Structure 1
Amino acid sequence: MQKKTVFVLGAGVSMQYGFPSGAELVDNICEELAKSEYEYKLHEGKWVKSHWRSDDDIELEMNCLIDALLVLCFDYQEIQRFRERIYYSDTNSIDSFLRNNKHFKDLGKTAISHILIKAEQEVDLFLRQKFQNKEHSSYVGPSVYKYIWSQMQGYLGGAKSVKYFMESQCPLFVTFNYDRSLEQYFSKVIMNYCNNKSGVDTLIASRIRHVHGCLGLHTADVVGPSGVWPYNDHIEVSRLQSACNGIRIIGDKNEDETFVDNLRSEMLQAERIIFLGFAYHPDNLRTLFGKGVTKAQIFGTTYGMTQQEVYGVKRMFEEYVTHVNSQICIEPDHNEMTAYEYLREVVSFGVSQQEAAV
C-alpha cells in the first residue's frame, strides 16, 4: 500500500456476511430463549425435560440455544430471568446490558457465541450481492471485503512473496466484531489466488486485531487441530466453551495490557485510518488511541446518521488528532453511502478525494 493504512471495522461490515447488528443480536437471543426442542418441568427442585424425543441426542440439544445452555449447566430459571431482563431493558446492545448486569456475564457471552457461530456460513462471504434493490430492508450492497481484496491484488502480484506482502504492504485490520469472517475470507482468497496454503492462516491472523476477542482460533481448512475451529456453523460443547472464553464484553478488564499498548502504537503509526460500519462509541475510541494524538488522515462511514450525530463524532475526535478540519473526513453528506460506496467514492487505495484536494 502507498500509505500505512488501518481499517477499523464495526458491526455494519459483518452484517454483509450474515451476522446480526447489535439490535438484531438482542432480538435473536430473546427469540431463541423462548423456544426449545423440549418442555421443562420442576422436579425435586430442579428443572428437567418433561419428555424426551425419540431422536434425542447431544447435537440436537446444542443447536437450540436454551438447550445448549442447560447442557452447559446454566440454571433454567436464571436463563428465563436473563431473557426477561434483557427483553424489558429494551436495549440495542447486549454488551452494554452485560456491563450493567455482570451476574449474567457468562450466560450472556455463551448466548452471544451460540448465535454468532450459527451465522458462520462461508457461502455468505462470496455472494456477489445479496439484494439488488437498495430500497430492500435487507440490502447490503457489494462486498466490502471483495473491494479491499481487488485493490490488494495489484500489490500482491508485484510482491516478492505472500509473506513479504503480508508483513510490509498489507493493511492492518482492527475489528470490534467477534466473528471470524475476516480471517476466513482473506485466507481463502489468498490461498486460491496464489496457489499457496503454506502459513497463510498465520500470516492473515498477524494482520488482524480483535479488540474484544473472537470466537476461537481459526483455520480455513475443513478440519483443524484440537482447539482450532473451522469456519462453519457446527456447535459442540467444547467449541461453545472456547468461543465464550475467547470474547470480552465492553467494560471487561482487558488482562492483556500489552495488546492494548501495541494496538495504540500501531494506530499512532498509521498514516490513514478508515472506520467502516462503526458506531464511534467513546469507550472504543479511547481503547484505540488512549491519550495519544495521531497525525493520520481519519475517514469514516456515517450511514444512517443525522447531521448532529456526525458533528458529535467529529467533536469526539478532537482530542485524538492535531488538525480537526484537515485530518477528519467524516461528513453528514456521506450518510447514505454504504461502506462499499464510501470506499469507492471517498477513499480508494490510491489517493483519496480529500488528499487530492490538498
Structure 2
Amino acid sequence: MISKRTVFILGAGAHHPYGFPSGKELMGNVVDQLMRGIRDADLSLRTLPQRSGVNINVVQQKNIEKFIESLSQAGQASIDSFINSNQHMTGFDVIGKAGIAQAILNSEAKFLITRESNKDNKHDWFEYLFAKMCDGVSRSSDYFRDNKISFITFNYDRLLEHKFFNALKHSFNPENDQELLDMVRTIPIHHVYGSLGEYDPNSFGQINYWDRAFKSIQTIHEVIEEHSAAIKSAKKELEQAEKICLLGFGYHKENIELLDLSRVIEEVNINVVACRFGITDEEMRRVTLSNRIRERKLEIGKEGEDALNTLRNRQAFDS
C-alpha cells in the first residue's frame, strides 16, 4: 500500500498509452469531429440551442467554419491555449468545448472496444500503480483508507475513474456496482480544467452524451476567474504531499503557474519524480530555468523513459 501522502499530477501523456490523444493530437481530433458534425445531425453543433439552451448566434455555421479553419492551422501547444487566445471570437469557447467533448468521448468509446488488448499493454502504468496500492490490502473497504494517494489531472476524460472501477470490481468483487461506484467517487481526483462530467460507467464512452458533457469543461481563463474549487483542492493536496510524481505532464508554463508548482517543488522535503518522455535534455533545462526550479529538486526520468518505467526506476513510492 502507499502509506505516505502521494500526489500524482497527470497530463495528456499519461493517458496516451491507452489510446487517448496528446495535446497536439486532440486539436486534430476536434477538427475531425467538427467536420463530422457538419454532415451528421447527431453531432451537429447547430442543435445546441434546442438541446442545451445555447444562444443560436453562438453556433452559426460561419462561426463553426471559422473555428475549424483557425484551429487546423494554429500553432498553439494545446486547444486550451488556442481557446484562451481567442476569447474575443464569437462562439469559439462553446464550439471548442463541444468539439473536445465529442473527441474525448470518442476516445473513451474506443478504449471500451479495445480494453481486452489493453490488458496486455506493455506501457500500463496504472496496473503497476494499482498493484502497489493492493499490497497488504485484503478488503475493498480498506483500500482507500490505507492508501494515501490523490490525483491532479489536466485531462478531461474519466479514464482514471473507469480503470479504478474495473480494477476494484474484479479484484475484490463487491456485492453491487453502486457500492463500488460510491467507493470510486471518494478517490481524490481533481480535474483542473473540468471533465466530461461525474464518472458513471453507463455514460463512459457514450458519444450521445456530448451535448451535456461539454458544459463541465473549463478553459484556463475560466478556472482563474472563477477561483476554481478544483484548483483550491489541488493546491491543498500539494501542500500536504510527502511525495509528488509528474506523469505525462507537458510542463507548460501556464499549468505550472496555475498550481504554483515551482514554489511547491522548492518547499517539499523530498525530490519530485518527473517523467519527461519525449522531452529532450535542453527542453527540460529550459523548463527548470524559466520556472526557477532547481533541477536537483527533481528526480527526472530519461527522455525515452515512459510513465511505467519512470515509476519502476524512480523513487515514486515509499516501498
What's the TM-score, normalizing by structure 2?
0.84
- The 8 Å contact of residues 102 and 207 in structure 2, kept in 1 or not, is answered as no
Tell me the equivalent position of 1:338: 306
Tell me the equivalent position of 2:3: 2
Query: Cα offset for 1:20?
Result: 1.2
Tell me the equivalent position of 1:17: 18
Cα gap change, 1:129/1:168 in structure 2, threshold over 3 Å: closer, same or farther?
A: closer
CA distance in 2 between partners of 1:176 and 1:107 (Å): 20
Matches within 5 A, 1:150-299: 150-157=131-138, 161-196=139-174, 197-206=177-186, 207-220=188-201, 222=202, 230-235=203-208, 239-254=209-224, 255-289=226-260, 292=264, 293-299=267-273
Deviations 1:206-252, CA, capped at 9 Å, x for gaps: 321111111011123x4xxxxxxx212331xxx32321111112222
User: Aligned partner of 2:307: which letter?
Assistant: A
Tell me the equivalent position of 1:46: none
Larger RCO (alpha carbons 8 Å, 6+ apart):
2
Q: Say yes or no: does 1:128 pair with 2:125.
A: no
Cα gap change, 1:98/1:258 in structure 2, threshold over 3 Å: closer, same or farther?
A: closer
CA distance in 1 between partners of 2:242 and 2:93 (Å): 37
- The 8 Å contact of residues 273 and 316 in structure 2, kept in 1 or not, is answered as no
Deviations 1:270-328, CA, capped at 9 Å, x for gaps: 11101001101122122223655333430111111111111223335646xxxx46532
User: Aligned partner of 1:245: which letter?
Assistant: K
Cα gap change, 1:304/1:15 in structure 2, threshold over 3 Å: closer, same or farther?
A: same
- The 8 Å contact of residues 118 and 234 in structure 1, kept in 2 or not, is answered as yes
Query: Cα offset for 1:21?
Result: 1.2
User: Aligned partner of 1:260: which letter?
Assistant: I
Number of residue-to-residue matches in the alignment: 296
Query: Cα offset for 1:26?
Result: 1.3
SS in 1 for 2:207: coil
User: Aligned partner of 2:312: which letter?
Assistant: R
Query: Cα offset for 1:198?
Result: 4.9
- The 8 Å contact of residues 128 and 142 in structure 1, kept in 2 or not, is answered as no
Tell me the equivalent position of 2:54: none
SS in 2 for 1:156: coil
Cα gap change, 1:125/1:181 in structure 2, threshold over 3 Å: closer, same or farther?
A: farther
- The 8 Å contact of residues 113 and 215 in structure 1, kept in 2 or not, is answered as yes
Cα gap change, 1:257/1:91 in structure 2, threshold over 3 Å: closer, same or farther?
A: closer
Cα gap change, 1:256/1:162 in structure 2, threshold over 3 Å: closer, same or farther?
A: farther
Query: Cα offset for 1:259?
Result: 3.6
- The 8 Å contact of residues 12 and 21 in structure 1, kept in 2 or not, is answered as yes
Q: Say yes or no: does 1:329 pair with 2:306.
A: no
User: Aligned partner of 2:253: which letter?
Assistant: P
RMSD between aligned residues: 2.4
Tell me the equivalent position of 2:75: 90
Name stretches of at least 5 consecutive residues in structure 1 with no aligned partner. 39-59, 131-140, 223-229, 352-358
- The 8 Å contact of residues 7 and 174 in structure 1, kept in 2 or not, is answered as yes
Tell me the equivalent position of 1:349: 317
For structure 1, which segment, 252-261 or 271-280, has the greater mean C-alpha deviation from structure 2 after superposition?
Answer: 252-261
Tell me the equivalent position of 2:65: 80
- The 8 Å contact of residues 245 and 316 in structure 2, kept in 1 or not, is answered as no
Name stretches of at least 5 consecutive residues in structure 2 with no aligned partner. 50-58
Tell me the equivalent position of 1:47: none
Tell which structure's C-alpha radius of gyration is larger. Answer: 1
Cα gap change, 1:170/1:253 in structure 2, threshold over 3 Å: closer, same or farther?
A: closer
For structure 1, which segment, 182-191 or 258-267, has the greater mean C-alpha deviation from structure 2 after superposition?
Answer: 258-267
Would you tell me which structure has more helix in proportion to its own residues? 2
CA distance in 1 between partners of 2:178 and 2:206 (Å): 25
- Matching residue within 306, 309, 329 for 2:280: 306
CA distance in 2 between partners of 1:179 and 1:16 (Å): 14
SS in 2 for 1:119: helix
- The 8 Å contact of residues 9 and 244 in structure 2, kept in 1 or not, is answered as yes
- The 8 Å contact of residues 125 and 181 in structure 1, kept in 2 or not, is answered as no
What's the TM-score, normalizing by structure 1?
0.75
Q: Say yes or no: does 1:107 pair with 2:88.
A: no
SS in 1 for 2:137: helix
Deviations 1:67-91, CA, capped at 9 Å, x for gaps: x212224211211111111122233
Query: Cα offset for 1:124?
Result: 4.0
- The 8 Å contact of residues 155 and 165 in structure 1, kept in 2 or not, is answered as no
Cα gap change, 1:209/1:296 in structure 2, threshold over 3 Å: closer, same or farther?
A: farther
SS in 2 for 1:182: helix
Tell me the equivalent position of 1:354: none
Tell me the equivalent position of 2:53: none
User: Aligned partner of 1:307: which letter?
Assistant: D
